[in-house]
Chain A
Amino acid sequence: MVNSVDSDILSSTKKKHLNPDENWGLVEESEYFANKVKLYRQDKLNADEFRRFRLQNGAYGSRLNSEFSMIRIKVPGGDISPEQMEKIANLSETFSIGSAHVSTRQNIQLHWVQLEDVSEVVRGLAEGGLTSREACGNTIRNVMCSHFAGVCSNEPFDVTVHAKAIAKFFLRNPMCQNLPRKFKFNFACCSEHGFVRIADVGLVPAIRDGIRGFRIYLGGGLGAASFIGHLLEEFTPESRLLSTSMSTIRLYDRLGNRENLARNRMRYLVNEMGWEKFQALLLKERVIVEATMSIPTKNTFDGILNIDTNANSNSTISSKRKLPLINSDNAQTPYNRWLNTNVVAQKQPGYYGVYITLGAGDITSNQLRVLAECVREFSLEQKARTTPQQNFFIRYIKSDSIPKVFAKLSSIGLGNPGANTIASAVGCSGTTSCNLAITNSHRLAKEIQSKFLELNFDMDPDFRTSTIKISGCPNSCGQHEVATIGFYGGAGRIANSMAPIYTMLFAGSTGETGELGKTIMRVPAKRVIDVVLKIIECYRGEKNGNESLHDWICKISTGHGNGKVQTIDDLKKTLVPITELPSFAESPDSYKDYGADSNFVAKTARGECAA
């Protein structure tokens, strides 16, 4: 019995995830990069041209120091093998800072790499089947995919293969090497798990009349101005996935704004043109694409996709189910605490997924190696996933292995509880490496995590669905607009002193019905934790029955509170005193940012996303 389940899963795993063609790297790109660096250093290549080339190959300039780069390693679909983790561990130790960083877009980033060493990292990545190609620049960025794809109780089918087929088809594809700006795909597994409304193309799998397909949302995205994506049509069959994607890219490539750097994402085009007009143009474009698409092109994609026509009939799921968390008994051992928040049951009976909660996505090389061992030893699919919450997720673990997994993880500091709770705060890299950052969002996320774990917030079921997400500037890499409580960094003057100040947002959400958060108020960096604690205190005094923090915040955000705090303004009255700082002379530390000894100065340089 057990054997047959194992072999079933293994065979499907082999088919879908261990494809020998799954190699994203190209070793020759290493030498090419090295040569370009030499030309640039010899002034034979101008800075703008070189920047464009560098970004196309995944090397982003480091904060206020052009000698160094951040290398963004694409993890298509978030799917990564233990060998690749070990490769990244070695590369980080050799050329970077000995830690790697999981981004909110499921990439893994190596920071502060000497520009002249980037080619060696590219070489090492290619050896491990990985690439940083088109991870930055004006092209198709890492294709995201829900980390539950394949194990989610509510999914009609596993979209991992589609996400990877799209990634493979467009990688190095001449049609998307010079778009007006970056372009992002996001695949959900179900209507709940995904960031489909804040992507250029967001896809939710669906089955209609026995045919697999998607609900496709277009023109969403977060940034200085954010938009929620529009539904293209009720149902797009799988057979039109490629043509729809190609037409969208073609239309954007043709009509997108190439002049104004601040308004050249596709969402602005959609917004300026109006959705109906864009939609009509797109559907027309698709007719042309379908009529003219060459057979080799179509075959290439279908070959990558390798559509499994005998999709198992696991597809019709009548009622919506939550991925059940394992509830441990009340004994509060570290193991039980972890079990409570970090282990979820898969749709495959007897198998579990385990979260590895990191601090703002950071993991040391040694930890990565232990994680790789863990995957090899305990995961039937022999892979892990990166998550948009900056964590890792290991799936296909049998229940009797879970204690061993915990022992192994906690032996190296990877056994933190609190995944998917308010304690697991998201923070972009902020001033630790980004040119655009104004504040140290990265450290703030870590501070919140350790403080909230210390306060046992992970153990409170009321906080389970709530999220805190922090960006170091308004550009939303920390996805602050889709958090229960979001923050983005800025600078402000208080009396005569500059201070790092965050703008707080409420009631953002992800999924197919995702909404953008509303701006609430400004909070000095050193008061963010106190303000969140005060919000929690108010919530605890006000909540009705089992109402979660997230639900309560959504309720008061629309002015529907039913206690003493009915509206945002009511809550603000309580919060404002906390945001007031003593004078600089009394408390200079209140005016400094996290991780900085010196007084705060807002320093930024040109953002390279737009280059």
Chain B
Amino acid sequence: MRCLSDLTQTKNKNGIKSDNKLKKNIIKKEKKMMSPATLDLVCDVDTLRTLIKKNKVRVVDVRKKDEYLKGHIPTSVSLPLSDLLSDDSPESIIKIMNNLGIADNTPVVVYDDTFGALASRVAWSFKFIGHTNVSLLEVTYSGWKNMGLEIEKKSNKFPKSSHSIDIDYSIYADAEYVENARNDKNKVIIDSRERLNFLTEHIPNSKNIPYTMIRSEDAILRNPSELKRFMENRGIDSNSEIITYCGSVGTLSGLVFFALKTAGISNVKLYPKSFKEWKSLGKPKIEFKDATYWDLSAE
């Protein structure tokens, strides 16, 4: 939404009055020509390399610090997910972003080596405090490396920034919100954990879309048309409001958050404290004990 209004402003500055088709063309053009770039939800490798070369992007590596020190995508800064999770209040997130030199208009691309789940949680947090221009790298660090693309070892530091704060509650859900959504026909709660965990216990009325369903062999997310078809099969309307959750800190469900967005569903919320908090609050849950499904696993 924010993205769109920014673009509308630009358009108005240029004084263009035109039909929708024309508007779209202009927006596309501007995307290419103007600075800063407006990123899609997922950033492809070529786009990132171009942005890095032009020095027009902040790349955020969310792996552990020692992994970052062994090698990372050029110009990237280190933000281990655990640093963010140790205090994920909006004030703390802003502080972190300022330390990484991310300003309001800085395009940000986040990557990890955990099929995009950790990167998703960080990217969602940035969106939450009002930084919309953030994107997930379409591949993991291993994927990047395996393609033989450039990496570097030097630690990067950028001048501190001063990011504004404009919390986007439209992408956030807490336990109370989820509890109220349970019996609301227009809201769909999605459990992003693997199937056997879901069967064992889940939030009543939630549906299971395991994170394993939305990734492809060579990218952290399937292509949008496939994701759309999956959602259609499930009877999930693109106008529905969706809340995603997973086991404990909102990583797997963070990835599903981005998958659903990619599939064209606009109203998606993340319940970052997820099932761990839900259980600790003693909220109701559905357990399925009529089958011994765990014994089917060869793990």
Residues of A that sit less than 8 Å from B by CB: 34, 37-38, 41, 62-65, 90, 93-99, 101, 111-112, 114, 116-117, 119-120, 358-359, 362-364, 367, 429-433, 440, 442-443, 446, 593-596, 598, 603
Contacts and interface: CB of A to CB of B under 8 A. Distances in A.
Nearest to A446: B295
Contacts of B212: 93-94, 98
A96 B289 contact: no
B199 interface: yes
B290 A65 contact: yes
Contacts of B234: 114, 116-117
A97 B194 contact: yes
Interface string B262-299: 00000000000000000000000000111111111111
Given A98-B194, A119-B233, A120-B230, A430 B298 contact: no
B160 interface: no
A595 B295 contact: yes
Nearest to A361: B298
Contacts of A596: 292
Interface string B190-221: 00001110010000000010001100010000
B15 interface: no
B235 interface: yes
B296 A362 contact: yes
12 contacts: A64-B291, A96-B195, A97-B297, A98-B212, A117-B233, A120-B233, A362-B296, A364-B298, A430-B292, A440-B295, A594-B292, A595-B295
Given A116-B234, A120-B233, A363 B298 contact: yes
A223 to B, nearest CB: 22
Interface of B: 194-196, 199, 208, 212-213, 217, 229-230, 233-235, 288-299
A38 B196 contact: no
A56 B297 CA distance: 26
Contacts of B295: 432, 440, 442-443, 446, 594-595
B298 A99 contact: yes
Contacts of A430: 292
A433 B213 contact: no
B290 A603 contact: yes
Given A64-B291, A97-B194, A603-B290, A432 B233 contact: no
A364 B289 contact: no
A90 B194 CA distance: 14
Contacts of B290: 63-65, 603
Given A98-B194, A114-B208, A603-B290, A429 B296 contact: yes
Contact of B213 (A94, A367, A603): A94
In this complex, the member of B288, B291, B297 whose beta carbon has the largest number of chain A beta carbons within 10 angstroms is B291
B240 to A, nearest CB: 15
In this complex, the member of A41, A90, A112 whose beta carbon has the largest number of chain B beta carbons within 10 angstroms is A112
A358 B298 contact: yes
A432 B295 CA distance: 6
A363 B299 CA distance: 8
B13 to A, nearest CB: 46
Given A93-B212, A98-B194, A112-B195, A117 B292 contact: no
Nearest to A596: B292
Nearest to B291: A63
B299 A98 contact: yes
Contact of A90 (B217, B230, B296, B297): B217
A117 B231 CA distance: 10
A421 B106 CA distance: 66
Contacts of A432: 291-296
Contacts of A431: 291-292
A295 to B, nearest CB: 43
A362 B213 CA distance: 21
Nearest to B226: A120
Contacts of B195: 96-98, 112
A97 B289 contact: no
